[in-house]
């Protein structure tokens, strides 16, 4: 793999491949296909992939603390009607236990992007699935034990969540075409609460819409430029540092992984219509950007 050239990992043909998470214990990459209602796993050593059907559309996942001894781990999944604990079985079935349910403010909503903070507390946003409605009914939620509390409201399509290496800055975007903004927040690591929201990046003059993101060990903020076929890196002060191309128009989210955490995995979206110019859309790709990532915290819920 050359330094900046994307390599195909798996021609998954996902409708919306999202929430890639590197499992350092099993040395494999996990992610979800939202409309396909599937949890995916790709093993780096064998190159084999398998999937498990999920009971609802799943926006994001996090590896549960204390589950490393299980064959496929255990996953906290933010879905349509709440957060569930998912346990993949070797026979291809998926055990589900609800942890916290939610009363969405209107029909047709689900969870979208999210991840754990550095302390292992899950934070995830909700959205109206029909983006053409442009309804700002989404909120950012915190999972505290067996309950969900709203931290911020008024989002159309919350996305791009990530935390600085020291955990004291939280990043969040709204990828809807009407918004296209990335914010930074001061993050209280004691209470798990964001405050002092400010604009970090105005994406409107840039290439693509801000989608899923990751932070490297140096504090660089990597975010997918949806519709532009690019993955951008920004410095902590919001300066565009570099843009790396991927062979599809809609990269969805990125995550660092591999044995040295020096591979940037990128999931993608496979839209309808003519795909002759991007036949690998919906696949998973890998880049070697020359920086290392950080291990994702285990979810303590």
Kindly list the distances between the CA atom of residue 25 and the CA atoms of 70, 71, 73, 200, 236, in Å, as whole numbers in the listed order: 11, 10, 9, 34, 29
Q: What are the phi and psi torsion angles at 212 (to 5°)? A: -70, 155
What domains, with CATH codes, occur in the chain?
7-287 (2.120.10.30)
Note the pTM of the prediction, 2 decimals: 0.97
On the question of pLDDT at 189 being above 50, the answer is: yes
Q: Over the Cα atoms of the chain, what is R_g?
A: 17
Q: Hey, what's the torsion of the CAs at 231, 63, 184, 204, to 10 degrees? A: 30
Query: According to the model, what pLDDT value does residue 301 have?
Result: 77
How confident is the model at residue 2, as a pLDDT?
36
pLDDT > 80? residue 38: yes
Distance of CA 44 to the CA centre of its chain: 20
pLDDT at 108: 97
pLDDT score for 1: 34
* Mean pLDDT (the chain, rounded): 96
pLDDT in tens, 285-300: 999 999 999 999 999 9
Neighbours of 35 (CB within 10 A): 12
Catalytic residue among 117, 174, 211, 216: 211
Question: Does 95 have pLDDT greater than 90?
Answer: yes
d(CA 179, CA 188): 26
Q: Is 144 a catalytic residue?
A: no
Q: What is the pLDDT of residues 111-127, one digit of tens each?
A: 999 999 999 999 999 99
State the pLDDT at residue 41: 98
Residues 56-74 have pLDDT tens digits of: 999 999 999 999 999 999 9
Rounded Cα distance between 228 and 245, Å, is 9
* Mean of pLDDT values over 43-55: 97
């Amino acid at each position: 793999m050359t330094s900046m050239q994307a390599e195909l990992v798996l021609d998954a043909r996902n409708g919306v491949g999202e929430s890639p998470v590197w499992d350092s214990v099993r040395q494999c990459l996990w992610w979800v296909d939202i409309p396909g209602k599937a949890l995916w796993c790709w093993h780096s050593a064998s190159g084999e992939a398998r999937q498990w059907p999920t009971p609802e559309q799943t926006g994001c996942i996090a590896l549960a603390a204390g589950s490393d001894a299980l064959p496929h781990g255990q996953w906290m999944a933010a879905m349509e009607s709440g957060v569930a604990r998912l346990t993949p079985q070797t026979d291809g079935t998926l055990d589900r236990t609800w942890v916290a349910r939610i009363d969405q403010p209107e029909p047709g909503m689900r969870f979208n992007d999210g991840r754990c903070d550095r302390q292992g507390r899950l934070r995830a946003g909700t959205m109206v699935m029909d983006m053409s409605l442009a309804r700002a009914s989404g909120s950012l939620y915190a999972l505290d034990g067996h309950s969900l509390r709203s931290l911020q409201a008024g989002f159309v399509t919350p996305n791009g969540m990530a935390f600085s290496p020291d955990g004291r800055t939280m990043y969040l975007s709204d990828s809807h075409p009407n918004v296209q903004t990335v914010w930074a927040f001061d993050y209280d690591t004691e209470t798990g609460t964001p405050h002092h929201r400010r604009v970090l990046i105005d994406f409107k003059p840039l290439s693509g819409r801000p989608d899923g993101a990751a932070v490297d060990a140096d504090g660089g903020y990597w975010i997918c430029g949806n519709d532009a076929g690019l993955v951008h890196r920004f410095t902590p002060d919001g300066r565009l540092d570099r843009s790396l191309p991927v062979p599809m128009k809609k990269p969805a989210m990125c995550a660092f992984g591999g044995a040295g955490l020096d591979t940037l995995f990128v999931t993608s979206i496979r839209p309808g219509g003519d795909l002759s110019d991007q036949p690998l859309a919906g696949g998973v790709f890998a880049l070697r950007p020359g920086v290392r990532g950080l291990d994702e915290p285990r979810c303590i819920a």
